[in-house]
Structure 1
Amino acid sequence: MSNVAHLSDEPNSYFMGDQYRPNSPNYLHLIPMCLDLFTEHIYPIMPLIHMPTLRASIDRPLEMFEKNLLYSLCALTSTHMSGKSISAPGPPSWEATGRFFLDECILVRHSYDFIEDKTLGAVISSYFISTASFELNQSRKSWYYLREALTMGQDLGLHDEKSYVGLPDAEALCRRRTFWILYVTERSFAILRHKPLTLSKTPEFPSTLHEYEAPEIHSGFMHLVHSYHLLDSSFVDSWNEASDAPASTLTYTALQQKLNLPHPSHVSLTDIQKADILVTQQWLRLVVWQSSMRQGLLSSHAEHESMTFCYPLKIACSLLGVISSLPTTSIEVHGMGIFEKIFEIGNTMLDVTQACGSTIPSGSYGVVQDPLEMFVKTLSQTPNSQRQYANLLLAKAAEKPQIERFSQTLHPMSTDHSMFSPPTQHAVIPRNGLNREGLLVPPISPRQWRGSIVGEIGDDGVYKAVETVQHDGNHLGECCLDS
């Protein structure tokens, strides 16, 4: 599978024909900086490599398989740095740097028998190339290299618990984490791009951490894995219409209840990890709601709020609370993947507001005067996310006058109030992100956005289905965090 890229119609180079490809000395000196940036900003959400071993390797001549991994890491780091507000000295263009290291990685693969490379680094390098390609908006290459990583991982037996017997602890941990990051990413692609699943058999979860790691590395990683693990293969098959098996209301309400549970946490998580976990949690709530809508299970008078037509407004409210509580850099460092999830929630919010707007209480969004503005501000954090998502959201809103009227009914409220309006005293959310039982919850928003932005994309089939319920008379209750 590895050599398909060489035979495809796509150019081998990540530089377009009119782009100048730099000479090697222009960028190879950035390798130590890329390692530092990766360790600080990306490793907390992708802890796949034993970093002391990798760092030690750059002080000696590298084997080809080592260069393959190192260049892919530099490509991933560079593309994630492109357009970000993270302050770090570097090249004039991080995107050009990322394309350079991607090219170098592909050239290295041509110089040895990569298909026979049975190291874990080969699997990780394909995963890193996939993620870097996604950042460059090259979805086909991203999918191809993800499938390459999946295939090579299966060849190594990462899915088989027996393959871990006798391995050194550090190697076994890296292998388990690599499998589960592939598992998470494949499910994300299956939902967002309607791709088939290949990973069915799974090994045990990682249960340890490297001696150099802080406890939150393991805790944050497992939070994310457990969130995706709730959506089993039968759910994904139903989502992709590969299965006709009907799902019951109980199935969906149970999923929503599990996704609404705060994550147990005995250690402090970094802001980068919180952004990944909490945004993903809200997006998965939306995915489950969309699936229940496709099954025709929604009702204006459903017993469970998650089975009502306007539930995405509550999801959007929770997401805005998450976004408001975190530094900008903790969101943008995740790249286009997290912006796509935020866009999906904002996009659905517009559709549901159009359908249910006349029945939404004006105070439902708490301290946020204009939720649309906050979505647009968030999606405008990087040039790529603004071009790909913020502009689409603005354009869609321009065609929906109901959105403008709804925005004008919202009013500023005291900053002493929470983004969420708790229905009972025990649901009050502290500002440190942990409740009194030590569970991780979306924190209170410390900010307000004022003003109104309106401004469209053509509706897709799913969202048109939402708009058909606009005369159903559904009523959205107070926007609050499920306890």
Structure 2
Amino acid sequence: MDEASDHMGAASTDDSPGDSVGSSMPVLQVASWDGVSSNAPSVTKRLQVPRACDRCKRLRRGCSEYRPCRRCIESGLANECRTRMPQPRLALNASVPAPGPQLAELLSSRVIDYCTERFFDRLHPTIPILTVDYVASLRATAASPDAGLESLCVLAGMACQVLLQTEEPESLFQQGVIPDKNLAFGRLLLEMLIPTYQNMSRRSPISLETCLVSFFLYACEAVLSHHGRSFRYLRETTTLMILFRPEGTNDTSRLIMDRLFWVLLVSERSHAIRYRRPVTLQITKDSPSLDSSDPSLVGFWSLAALFRPIDTSFIALLNREALMISPSPDSLNRVELEVNSALRLDPGLHDTQKANLRVTQLWLRVIIWQLRLHLGYLVEESHQRSLTFRYPIDVARELVLSTRDLPTSSFTVHGMGMTEKLFDVASSLVDVLARIPLTPTYQRGIEIESSPKDDLSYLRSLISRLPGGADVYDDLLEKHIQQTLPSLEMGGIESLAMENLDSQ
């Protein structure tokens, strides 16, 4: 699912007296000025500024006051959001509201407190790109009217991601701190952040804050399933990272940039696999090292290690690029070996980290299997199970066993990306079940109750609980089952799997 399509009727662009979208109009005081000084008093005119943009007028829908408006942003038409009106000639002392103060008004101290706490509790284990001291520094700098806009935008970006990606609990709305629930307020905050960031003057050399704002915009657009815009901000952030020069930065900034590099590398390579995109970041001798000395980052470094072997050559194979050098089975064997050995056992991992690491590792195994299938490297029988056609059955079984003890919330926090990974595993399992006769599953010579159909039902039930699952991916999986394996009966098993998830 890509950008939302714009379906507009043939309604007239002229406003009728009873048109609700144009009924409320703010008044802007402007003075006529022709650029020549004069002693004559200026004539003040009252100019009505229509609140609705052209598209909302045509649709006869409500429209927000800011540009681009919320409706156009959600439809993927922010660049086309405009209002036709004569451009007033402003007096020298006329003031036009800037988006920065409006953003600061939305981002109250209590909102920042709440979102900072939620970020470090829910998101920091996976994206450790902020520190407590750095956030305190941002808050102090954001109060400055001259130099604080970048810091304000970083705080707003962090708050947007928290509100959009970790919706519960709704304590801010219940306490009257924000005017709407987290998701709606997060969208409004994002609507204000985008024009503020776009109108912000760019410093040279590139600042850490600019990189962070761009990353948070990518993360927010990804949560909203705006795939085209999220990829644009992701590519912008990786480009800023390549151009960033660490000379003259303090230790905190360098630490954050080092972590941001690996967060971007993971994000870009995961995005490239799921949407068949090219990648820009490469691991070279100058890349930041994986510092495993901090015990709180063990899970993060394991995640980075999972994607370390997924280099540009692997992505080129996946994208079916015309290569001058033919791939070899040994190269995929080396990638698989590194993926299998990437995780470090640590009892202190958060549930969110366990869910992300376990699912991502097994998902990458399926991606490697799919690539081997395309290249003709699979066989009927092999001592190396990953080289056989049945391998997704083994992956699904391991996924169920390694994740069924985790609460659903530990998967939900990772957004649509988690749903898509589980969907890939389930789809490959369906493909295999359609082509390979099922035999009883044995463990140490004893037949066990679980079957591949049980595992598929578990995966489908879990997918339906995650972002985009019920709306998009459950229907896609159902269609895939009906087309590929119409004889599969899953009703009773699905109910059992749903009961197991309800008990978590």
1:50 aligns with 2:131: yes
Determine helix, strand or coil for the equivalent of 2:280: coil
Whole-angstrom CA distance in 2 between matches of 1:13 and 1:382: 30
In structure 2, relative to structure 1, the CA distance for the partners of 1:323 and 1:170 (3 Å cut) is same
1:379 aligns with 2:463: yes
Q: CA RMSD in A?
A: 3.2
1:74 aligns with 2:159: yes
Q: Which has the larger Rg?
A: 2
Q: Could you say which residue in structure 2 is the equivalent of 1:302?
A: 382
Where does 1:127-276 land on structure 2 (aligned, <5 Å)?
127-157=215-245, 163=246, 167-202=249-284, 203-207=287-291, 215-244=294-323, 245-261=325-341, 263-265=343-345, 268-276=348-356
1:394 aligns with 2:483: no
Moved more, 105-114 or 271-280: 105-114
Contact kept in structure 2, 1:278 and 1:322, CA below 8 Å? yes
Determine helix, strand or coil for the equivalent of 2:488: helix
Question: Aligned AA for 2:226?
Answer: Q
Q: State TM-score, norm by structure 2.
A: 0.70
Whole-angstrom CA distance in 1 between matches of 2:376 and 2:458: 31
Contact kept in structure 1, 2:461 and 2:494, CA below 8 Å? no
Contact kept in structure 2, 1:253 and 1:307, CA below 8 Å? no
Structure 2 spans left out of the alignment, 5+ residues: 1-54, 56-65, 75-101, 174-179
Deviations 1:96-149 (A, max 9, x none): 122122122223224431365722121121111111101101001100000110
Question: Aligned AA for 2:376?
Answer: G
Deviation at 1:374, TM superposition (A): 1.2
Question: Aligned AA for 2:120?
Answer: T
Contact kept in structure 2, 1:130 and 1:141, CA below 8 Å? yes
Deviation at 1:69, TM superposition (A): 0.6
Whole-angstrom CA distance in 2 between matches of 1:109 and 1:146: 15
Contact kept in structure 2, 1:81 and 1:333, CA below 8 Å? yes
In structure 2, relative to structure 1, the CA distance for the partners of 1:292 and 1:99 (3 Å cut) is same
Contact kept in structure 2, 1:253 and 1:306, CA below 8 Å? no
Question: Aligned AA for 2:116?
Answer: L
Whole-angstrom CA distance in 2 between matches of 1:228 and 1:330: 21
Determine helix, strand or coil for the equivalent of 1:145: helix
Whole-angstrom CA distance in 2 between matches of 1:403 and 1:217: 48
Q: Among 104, 116, 129, which residue is 1:35 paired with?
A: 116
Determine helix, strand or coil for the equivalent of 1:449: helix
In structure 2, relative to structure 1, the CA distance for the partners of 1:392 and 1:127 (3 Å cut) is same
Deviations 1:42-72 (A, max 9, x none): 0110001122221354356150000111111
Deviation at 1:217, TM superposition (A): 3.0
Give the paired residue count. Answer: 389
Q: State TM-score, norm by structure 1.
A: 0.72
Question: Aligned AA for 1:227?
Answer: L
In structure 2, relative to structure 1, the CA distance for the partners of 1:265 and 1:451 (3 Å cut) is closer
1:311 aligns with 2:391: yes
In structure 2, relative to structure 1, the CA distance for the partners of 1:74 and 1:403 (3 Å cut) is farther
Where does 1:435-454 land on structure 2 (aligned, <5 Å)?
449=497
Runs of 4+ in 1 over 3 A off after TM superposition: 11-14, 23-29, 114-117, 166-169, 362-369, 398-403, 407-412
Q: Among 173, 197, 210, which residue is 1:122 paired with?
A: 210
1:15 aligns with 2:58: no
Q: Could you say which residue in structure 1 is the equivalent of 2:44?
A: none
Contact kept in structure 2, 1:216 and 1:267, CA below 8 Å? no
In structure 2, relative to structure 1, the CA distance for the partners of 1:304 and 1:49 (3 Å cut) is same
Determine helix, strand or coil for the equivalent of 1:47: coil
- Fraction of identical pairs, as percent: 23
Whole-angstrom CA distance in 1 between matches of 2:457 and 2:182: 29
Question: Aligned AA for 1:104?
Answer: M
Contact kept in structure 2, 1:200 and 1:233, CA below 8 Å? yes
Contact kept in structure 2, 1:71 and 1:105, CA below 8 Å? yes
Determine helix, strand or coil for the equivalent of 2:171: coil
In structure 2, relative to structure 1, the CA distance for the partners of 1:303 and 1:14 (3 Å cut) is farther
Determine helix, strand or coil for the equivalent of 2:497: coil
Q: Could you say which residue in structure 1 is the equivalent of 2:408?
A: 328
Q: Could you say which residue in structure 2 is the equivalent of 1:423?
A: none
Contact kept in structure 2, 1:246 and 1:295, CA below 8 Å? no
Moved more, 111-120 or 93-102: 111-120
Moved more, 112-121 or 33-42: 112-121
Whole-angstrom CA distance in 2 between matches of 1:409 and 1:353: 18
Contact kept in structure 2, 1:216 and 1:270, CA below 8 Å? no
Deviation at 1:345, TM superposition (A): 0.6
In structure 2, relative to structure 1, the CA distance for the partners of 1:377 and 1:118 (3 Å cut) is same
Question: Aligned AA for 1:207?
Answer: D
In structure 2, relative to structure 1, the CA distance for the partners of 1:266 and 1:384 (3 Å cut) is closer
Deviation at 1:243, TM superposition (A): 4.3
Where does 1:84-95 land on structure 2 (aligned, <5 Å)?
86-91=168-173, 92-95=180-183
Determine helix, strand or coil for the equivalent of 1:263: coil
